[in-house]
Amino acid sequence: MTAFEGDVAPGGWPGGNPNFAGRDRQRVAPNRLAERWDSDLWKQQMIDAGLVRQPSVMSRRSLLTGGAALAVGLAVDNIGKFSPLAKWLDDKVVGQFDYDEAVKEAKGFLKERYGINLVMGNEKDQDEFRGDPVALERYRVTLRLIVQEMSKYPPEMIHKIAEGRGLEIRVVDNLFVKEGQQESRREFRAGGLAPFLEQGKVAQLILDAGYAEHHQRAMVHHELNHRASQKWENQTERNKKWVGFHSKVSARSPYRKKREGAKDYDTTPERFFVIEYAATHPQEDEAVCAEMMMNPLRHLEFLNLWRNEQDKNVKDVLAVKYVETKRNYLNWSGGKIDDAFWQAIIKRGEEELANRKKPQVSG
């Protein structure tokens, strides 16, 4: 889903307002990935620069959840089975990998394969969002899941989204997005942000490392969907199309503000929305469908909502959203995110569900 608890949505806006249009002055971070590094020096430099907080007790969780297991296979295939990064992604026993070498290789993988620069901490010289420095242990968790989830995408798709300018993923803690004019500006906590593309500016995704891993995984796909939609769709036509999907169940636009007290992941009275946040705007409905379908277990949840629906008109709305999402990703990926890809997602979801149902044997 979106990665929010409370009133703010994955695009960074409450009540379904359109995705945040960032007026960033970002500069692409220099590529120092090929340099040899001293891990202790690197840690201290990050702390001294204020980019990360002094670590306390390290929490080295390596559990693979949601879509991670599928992504691990894709990433390991792309990286090489015996590299530090591959071991890090596929490790099921705590402490079996070299963190710092894996972090170095992960950043190199993102840069070389996808043109992605990973940046920690707040961005200077802008007043549209703010965030705190990231603790080292959180940064490593977030970097790991970014690699796992990004490995689901063909590199050509990501390069095209960035329009040759490169893509920056900025990781912060306690992300707040600012809304409105200077004199009446308000701030909202957000789990992720995809500022609008601007001529000559690096494309950005901003993630809050403070949220649970499954939320962060969802954010990667949700915000990337916003990037892809802005690249390949006319927003007015897209909105009109998604409103039209509901013609059998609503004579006017079904989109609305979030219900008072409702959480983003809550079910809705209108069963043609998969979760509450999807009801706030066509672009969020589109991105929520995408984030669900990219996650094996949540993909099954979507399919079950569709298959088990008794009202034919509602069932048809869910069906057309599912088919439209598949069509979009087939087109955007140049045919590489195809039926075989989705069948692999479904198969992985079925395996994860079966594993969950197995009785736990105590040692």
What average pLDDT score do residues 296-310 get? 96
Is-contact 129 206, C-beta < 8 A? yes
Least confident of 73-77, 82-86, 182-186: 82-86
Which amino acid, one-letter code, is at 118?
L
From 344, 321, 324, 328, select the one nearest 271 (Cα to Cα): 321
Tally Cβ neighbours within 10 Å of residue 33: 17
Task: Return the structure tokens found at 217.
Answer: 């995984």
Label residue 105 by pLDDT band (50, 70, 90): confident
Question: In which element (H, E) is residue 188 found?
Answer: strand 186-189
- What is the residue extent of each domain of the chain? 14-53+60-354
Amino acid type, 120: M
Answer for the pair 129, 176: CB distance below 8 angstroms, yes or no: yes
Name which of 27-41, 75-89, 107-121, 202-216 the model is least confident about: 27-41
Query: Shortest CA distance to 61 belongs to which of 36, 30, 96?
Result: 96
CB atoms within 10 A of CB 79: 23
Please list, in sequence order, all residues whose beta carbon lies within 8 angstroms of the beta carbon of residue 189, skipping any fewer than 6 positions away.
4, 6, 8, 174, 175, 176
Q: Among 148, 194, 276, which residue's Cα sits nearest to residue 10?
A: 194
What is the distance between the alpha carbons of residues 153 and 310, in angstroms, rounded to a whole number?
A: 34
Q: State pLDDT tens for residues 313-348.
A: 999 999 999 999 999 999 999 999 999 999 999 999
**What pLDDT score was predicted for residue 123?**
73
From 83, 148, 76, 156, select the one nearest 114 (Cα to Cα): 156
Which pLDDT value is given to residue 347?
A: 94
**DSSP helix/strand/coil, 218:** helix
pLDDT tens column, 226-278: 989 989 999 999 999 999 999 999 999 999 999 999 988 899 999 999 999 99
Decide if pLDDT at 135 tops 90: no
Query: Quick one: average pLDDT of 164-175?
Result: 83
| pLDDT at residue 360 in the model | 63
Q: pLDDT by residue (tens digit) across 181-198?
A: 666 667 767 777 777 777
Cα–Cα dist 128/80, whole Å: 40
pLDDT of 69 strictly over 90: no
pLDDT bracket for residue 140 (50, 70, 90):
confident
- pLDDT tens digits, residue range 222-234? 989 998 998 999 9
pLDDT at 12 over 50: no
Of residues 35 and 147, the one with the higher pLDDT is 147
Residue with token string 């036509």 = 237
205, 248, 337 from 2: Cα distances, Å: 14, 27, 22
Q: Is-contact 318 273, C-beta < 8 A?
A: no
Residue 297 has pLDDT above 70, yes or no: yes
Q: How far apart are CA 362 and CA 314, in angstroms?
A: 44
On average, the pLDDT of the chain sits at 75
What pTM was computed for the model? 0.72
